[in-house]
Structure 1
Amino acid sequence: MPVFKAPVEDTLFVLNDVLGIEKYNNLPGFADASPDLIEAVLTEAGKLSEEILAPLNLSGDQEGCVRSEDASVKTPKGFKQAYDTYCEGGWMGLSMPEEFGGQGLPYVLHTAVSEYLISANLALMMYPGLTQGAIAAILAHGDQAQKEKYVPNMIAGTWTGTMNLTEPHCGTDLGLLRTKAVPQADGSYKISGQKIFISAGEHDMSDNIIHLVLARIEGAPEGTKGISLFIVPKYMVGDDGSVGERNGVACGALEHKMGIHGNATCVMNYDDATGFLIGKENKGLAAMFVMMNEARLGVGLQGLSVGEVAYQNAVMYAKERIQGRSLSGPKAPEQKADPIIVHPDIRRALMTMRAINEGGRAFALWTALQSDIAHRSEDEAARQTADDLIGLLTPILKGVMTDKGFDTAVAAQQVYGGHGYIEEHGMSQFVRDARITQIYEGANGIQALDLVGRKLPANGGRAVMALFKEIGDFCEANREDEAMSGFTKALKKGLNDAQASAMWFMQNAMAKPDNAGAGSTDFMHLFGLVVLGYMHARMAKVANDELAKGGSPREDFLKNKLITARFFMDKLMPETALRKARIETGADTMMELAAEAF
């Protein structure tokens, strides 16, 4: 059975030493997040993950969800009890506003906690994850009455939430949706239509489910300009907050999926269901993007989380499994063979996983910190800069970290050899669960197109130029530091490749847009390597400075940080040159073959 240990020490290093979270005590909620409190929260989250959630991951995958004839859905054994424990601990509202029952702590702390919980049990944690996204949309676009009516119970976890976008005939292209909304005399709407792939759409873990549904009001314009967003509760809610009669929404079927079996992915049927408009008519996509952007950051975190737990189990197996002898001579002469961790190819796999995970953790927490700045700072310029950066980083975090998370799960399975193909070891589940992260909340090809087509040119390239400058300034500031030269030189090469590729798009994509599409995935991964390299360089800077002072009580930890960062720069960062070369070949060979020839 797979194991999991929350990487608390590594998280604390990133939060305290690399990001310097105490510098942000002027932001609301940060002053309460003292170093002692942060460590206590992470430690308790680790216990919840290791002791309550992780033991249910394999059984939840094997058991799955079951839909009854009355359209109700039963989740795997133990899921409801674990969810209740999660809610009782106040984890749902960790970073939510205090006025609605939350704790108001930083979103970056919520992100750190979420990594552990998702590593332990991705399928189970999707139920509160969707709820938190729905809360964010209601807080951003709902009126005060809607916030007071729905949000407190959602933060308490007694009600959960969903997002309903996809329909059988349309996925990413939401302008094609057909679900309709008919205005009623009392100001409500009757919602009719079908939604598919709705995560946590029906289950037995909460008293009510608050669905956020995209629909088109009768007579609204075609395309995305005519889409509105509605609250459609499973059970109607009275003015006093009481749960009333069943609404006209039901689970028509459960999807039979490759992975995340413990999460109820539903076909949802809306039959004259009562819904309530959020925000303005025909402005639903903007409201839903609040939820989608939060979800995309969350899915990027899922990629990291599955990669982390897969890596931990691969390390455990590599230390225990004996096979063959080390090329440089026996390392365990008392045994008939050496542990496979002595073999360079196993080390290549494990070091790649470790470097991606440690860089990815810093990347995710750094992005979450920008969200805190964007939403909590009183400095308008700081908010704008942070908001620009979030927009730029979101497709990279989602696309790159889920691709890398899947690659890590596959590599970890490979370390197990034939045992990795056997279900009882759990590696197959990590591969299957990780695969969906590359698809939902906007497939990764869409993330790449979003990055190149929308985020790079946004506001005249303001965000990308600012980030390029930040990374360039870091390299220049540490150029004379001999201990940092290996890191900054490699990072600068990667940065140069990213800048040259961005310039190539500017020169070659306007006249021929297919050039942008053809190079978008390579650019997303090139940019991702540069951001991950920047994170490793910042971690190396902290480690070098502390080691130079001497007498550090965590000397081994810091030296390991430097080894991992050097591996990233030596073995992974050079891939930017390959990506750049592919981008610059353009779209000709990709688009030349006639469709009939395939």
Structure 2
Amino acid sequence: MPYRAPLADFRLLLDLTGFAEVAATERFADATPETVEAILSEAGKLCENTLAPLNRAGDKTAARLENGVVRTPAGFVEGYREIASGGWVGISADPAYGGMGLPIALTSCVNDMMGSACLALQLNPLLTQGQIEALEHHASDALKAIYLPKLISGDWNGTMNLTEPQAGSDVGALRTKAEPLGDGSYAITGQKIYITWGDNDTNANVSHLVLARIVGAAAGTKGISLFLVPKIIPDAQGNLGARNSLNVVSLEHKLGLHGSPTAVMQFDAAQGWLVGEENKGMAAMFTMMNNARLAVGMQGVAIAEAATQTAVAYAMGRTQGKTPLGNGAIIDHADVRRMLGQMRSETFAARAIGLACAVAIDMGRATSTPEWQARAALLTPIAKAYGTDIGNEVAYIGVQVHGGMGFIEETGAAQYSRDVRVTSIYEGTNGIQAMDLVARKMMDGGEAAYRLIDEVEAAAEAARSSQPALATAVWNASEALREATEALVGQDLNDRFAGSVAYLRAFARILGAHYHLQAGLADPARLPLAAFYITRLLPEYAPLLAQTREGAAGLYALTPEALLA
């Protein structure tokens, strides 16, 4: 089935998540209804007509390394050029350097559509957008003047180089070193792995952000600095000059995302420039990572959308046996309808949470209000983990809807499952997101969480008169979440960690129910889907919250011997 951009969902959810407040700020005054509609509709056309046709070809013909040159699948160069020429890389970037300066919420909608259409290609602008934000916040004016216009225009692409063979989530164990060259630049030496779009034939230059330790700096994360290391060294005007001393060692052979080149990068005294302060590299890199975490959450939503559209189309056209409604299409079987209902409702809930997070980020930037900034911080790990979990689960169900044909590559159902799998791993595994939620994001004693719960309860209370059963279910669930949060902030940190994944999932379940209820009130045609989610999926919150109270002791009772038995 051809991909169709879910514009109606974006329009409704931007309204429900408070985008009007964003557009009312001075910073985002250009985000008028006319501009928003133009952005959504034009991006939708690009994704439907240009990018979606590249998805299957990109899966069948992987990116490859030939004589030191990375070649992307047929059509990727042309597809990327349309992304770049349309200005889609720099939607939210600083207008002073060529960006549109529009809200992250709009960028999230566009990235959602691009990810559905061709996730392997969308990874290129996604990482560049993260690097743009990091440079805007931390780079010197000289570096900004050279790199930002090229990145925003899409002429160059950006990467993030953190991981090494011995240093994954433990970034402080990295061995890449930086030696001062005496002219303000550094010689960077080391190897990095899992570098998405680390080299390609779509961009004239690749701008690598690399974590490294300046010789003599402290061990661990406190001694890490961030460097900008270009593939080809530009002059002060951005004109390309000499090739830097870095190269692609190999490309990873991956479960999915075959069209996206994931490189092992070797830096051999490559010339690089410090971004931010010495030994403050993690703070600078976290700017890019936090941007990427929301964006990756929307990748999960994107694949869930594509998998759902594919499954619904298949179920409507596949006849198999006698059905209760008589026409023979498998969509009329109760269990198939259940699976499709779960796919659609989960996708809507995850998209709502992602856009709510984006709106909070925009409001935090536009107003500098601590409450909005705290909400954005709270929602980021939820949006990333829930969005990517749902992407995986919905793609899995999509294979099941197809039955035996789901296991056959020609239907495309299996590709969604393969492509989305890594999203729950990269940019911080979902377990790390959950630990972040219950630790760093609860350093305020749960105040940001309580403010959000208050809003959910107030909205449910207001809905009792028109939808008493659904509203009461949402209110009861949110009150249970409040009580669980109160208990959580009193726990030992490792006990919090033991129940963190369950807590995050329960929080997301309840937020999803809130947005479904509001959608049903705004558009009665959406009430059946809201009822499906609230009556069939929301009740999972109770056993999930029960897990958060169990602590860590029972987990450590599972000794290695017991696990191997």
| Amino acid aligned to 1:220 | A
| Amino acid aligned to 1:84 | R
Cα pair 2:28 2:366 within 8 Å, conserved: no
> Any unmatched runs of 5+ in structure 1?
333-337, 544-557
Cα pair 1:22 1:34 within 8 Å, conserved: no
Alignment of structure 1 residues 123-142 onto 2, 5 Å: 123-142=120-139
What residue is the counterpart of 1:589 in the other structure? 554
Find 1:502's aligned residue among 471, 485, 490.
485
Identify which range, 89-98 or 260-269, moves more after superposition: 89-98
Give the drift of 1:152.
0.3
What residue is the counterpart of 1:226 in the other structure? 223
Give the drift of 1:308.
0.3
Find 1:341's aligned residue among 302, 306, 331.
331
Give the drift of 1:280.
0.4
Find 1:405's aligned residue among 391, 399, 402.
391
Give the drift of 1:29.
5.3
Cα distance in 2 for residues equivalent to 1:273 and 1:84: 28
Per-residue displacement from partner, 1:357-385 (whole Å, max 9, x unpaired)? 112222222211111111122xx4xx211
Secondary structure of 1:198's aligned partner: strand
Cα pair 1:29 1:106 within 8 Å, conserved: no
Cα distance in 1 for residues equivalent to 2:529 and 2:457: 22
Find 1:417's aligned residue among 399, 403, 406.
403
Cα distance in 2 for residues equivalent to 1:574 and 1:563: 17
Cα pair 1:484 1:540 within 8 Å, conserved: no
What residue is the counterpart of 2:287 in the other structure? 290
CA root-mean-square deviation:
1.4
What residue is the counterpart of 1:316 in the other structure? 313
Give the drift of 1:20.
4.8
Cα pair 1:486 1:566 within 8 Å, conserved: no
What residue is the counterpart of 1:550 in the other structure? none
Give the drift of 1:493.
2.1
Cα distance in 2 for residues equivalent to 1:448 and 1:251: 34
Give the drift of 1:535.
1.5
Give the drift of 1:93.
1.4
Q: Structure 1-normalised TM-score?
A: 0.92
Cα distance in 2 for residues equivalent to 1:592 and 1:365: 40
Per-residue displacement from partner, 1:303-335 (whole Å, max 9, x unpaired)? 000000000010000000011222x4x522xxx
**Residue 505 of structure 2 corresponds to residue 531 of structure 1:** no
What residue is the counterpart of 2:351 in the other structure? 361
What residue is the counterpart of 2:212 in the other structure? 215
Cα distance in 2 for residues equivalent to 1:596 and 1:219: 43
What residue is the counterpart of 2:326 in the other structure? 331
Cα distance in 2 for residues equivalent to 1:20 and 1:197: 37
Give the drift of 1:110.
1.4
Q: Structure 2-normalised TM-score?
A: 0.97
Cα distance in 1 for residues equivalent to 2:391 and 2:477: 21
Secondary structure of 2:272's aligned partner: strand
| Amino acid aligned to 2:56 | L
Secondary structure of 1:263's aligned partner: coil
Cα distance in 1 for residues equivalent to 2:142 and 2:12: 42
Secondary structure of 2:157's aligned partner: strand
**Residue 471 of structure 2 corresponds to residue 488 of structure 1:** yes
Cα distance in 2 for residues equivalent to 1:566 and 1:184: 64
What residue is the counterpart of 2:363 in the other structure? 373
Alignment of structure 1 residues 54-453 onto 2, 5 Å: 54-69=52-67, 71-326=68-323, 328=324, 330-332=325-327, 338-377=328-367, 380=368, 383-453=369-439
Give the drift of 1:28.
3.9
Find 1:468's aligned residue among 453, 459, 468.
453
Cα distance in 1 for residues equivalent to 2:316 and 2:383: 31
Cα distance in 1 for residues equivalent to 2:8 and 2:349: 15
Cα distance in 2 for residues equivalent to 1:559 and 1:331: 27
Secondary structure of 2:444's aligned partner: helix
Cα distance in 2 for residues equivalent to 1:110 and 1:406: 22
> Any unmatched runs of 5+ in structure 2?
none
Cα distance in 1 for residues equivalent to 2:338 and 2:483: 29
What residue is the counterpart of 2:501 in the other structure? 521
Cα pair 1:22 1:30 within 8 Å, conserved: no
Cα distance in 2 for residues equivalent to 1:594 and 1:10: 47
Cα distance in 1 for residues equivalent to 2:282 and 2:265: 20
Give the drift of 1:514.
3.6
Cα distance in 1 for residues equivalent to 2:532 and 2:92: 35
> What is the aligned-residue identity percentage?
43
Give the drift of 1:497.
2.6
**Residue 543 of structure 2 corresponds to residue 578 of structure 1:** yes
What residue is the counterpart of 2:23 in the other structure? 25
Give the drift of 1:111.
1.1
Cα pair 1:389 1:463 within 8 Å, conserved: yes
Per-residue displacement from partner, 1:129-174 (whole Å, max 9, x unpaired)? 1111011100010111111110001100001100000000011111
Secondary structure of 2:530's aligned partner: helix
Identify which range, 447-456 or 566-575, moves more after superposition: 447-456
**Residue 5 of structure 2 corresponds to residue 6 of structure 1:** yes
Per-residue displacement from partner, 1:384-412 (whole Å, max 9, x unpaired)? 11110111111111111111110000101
Cα pair 2:446 2:486 within 8 Å, conserved: no
Secondary structure of 1:270's aligned partner: strand
Per-residue displacement from partner, 1:385-441 (whole Å, max 9, x unpaired)? 111011111111111111111000010111000111111111111000110001111
Give the drift of 1:34.
2.3
What residue is the counterpart of 1:51 in the other structure? 49
Cα distance in 2 for residues equivalent to 1:461 and 1:593: 31
Aligned length: 563
